[in-house]
Amino acid sequence: KAGVTQTPRYLIKTRGQQVTLSCSPISGHRSVSWYQQTPGQGLQFLFEYFSETQRNKGNFPGRFSGRQFSNSRSEMNVSTLELGDSALYLCASSSTGVYTEAFFGQGTRLTVV
Amino acid sequence: AQRVTQPEKLLSVFKGAPVELKCNYSYSGSPELFWYVQYSRQRLQLLLRHISRESIKGFTADLNKGETSFHLKKPFAQEEDSAMYYCALSGIGGAQKLVFGQGTRLTINP
C-alpha cells in the first residue's frame, strides 16, 4: 500500500507570493489533516478535511486555506506569504471509524525569502 | 485548552540504561494519548497509543489521569532508539486532529 505522498518536497517562494501544496492520502483514507512544523512552535494543526468538507480548523489566519477533491486528494494554499510561513508542512491521512491512526507524509519544506 | 508538555528537549542515556520520556497534558474531557516517533530521514510514525496498551519495540506508556501524564518508558535502551519523540493527544477516536508536544530528542550513547 503506497504511503501518503506530498508534492513538491521543497519550495522557495518570495514574500507576497502564494503557494499551493498537494497531498495524496493512502488509498481508502477519506480524512486528510495538515500540520505546520517550525523550530519555535513545533507541530501545529492547521485543518482537516473529510469528504471534501473542512471538519476541523486550527488557529491560523485566513491566508491559510485548503480543499479536498472527490478522490480525497487535498491541497493547501497559503496566500500573501510572509517570512514566518517558512516551515515544514506535513499532511496526514486516516481512515474512518473509532481509534484510527494518522499516517504522515514526508512533508513539503517551504522557504519564504 | 488542550496542551501537551514535554519538559525535556534533549535526553541522552547510555545503551542498556532505562529510558523515560515525560509527557503531561491538559484536556477538558477524555483524551486519547499517543507517542509518535521520527527516526533520522524518516517520516513521523505512530509508536503507540494508550488505548491499545501494547508494548512496541520494548516501549510502554501508561495513562495516569490523576497526574495527567503519559510517560514513555523502556527498561533497556538500544542505539536504534535514537530519534525524535512526540507526545500527542486528541479527542476520543479523533486521530484527525492531534495536539503535539514540542518533542524530545533522545540520543542513546554506545
CA of B106 to nearest chain A CA: how many angstroms apart?
16
Question: Residue A64 above 60 pLDDT?
Answer: yes
Cα–chain-centroid distance for residue A33?
6
Residue B81: DSSP 8-state:
G
CB atoms within 10 A of CB B88: 25
Inter-chain contact A90–B32, Cβ cutoff 8 Å? Answer: no
pLDDT at A100: 78
Omega before residue A8 within 30° of 0, cis: yes
A interface residues, B as partner, C-beta within 8 Å:
3-4, 31, 33, 35, 42-45, 48, 50, 55-56, 58, 90, 92, 94, 97-107
Q: Are A73 and A23 in contact (CB under 8 A)?
A: yes
Cross-chain residue pair A100–B95, CB shorter than 8 Å: yes
**What is chain A's mean pLDDT, rounded?**
94
CA B90 to CA B7: how far, in whole Å? 19
Contact call for A33 and B98, based on CB within 8 A: yes
Highest mean pLDDT among A28-32, A79-83, A92-96, B97-101: A79-83
Question: A34 by DSSP, 3-state: which?
Answer: strand
CB atoms within 10 A of CB B45: 15
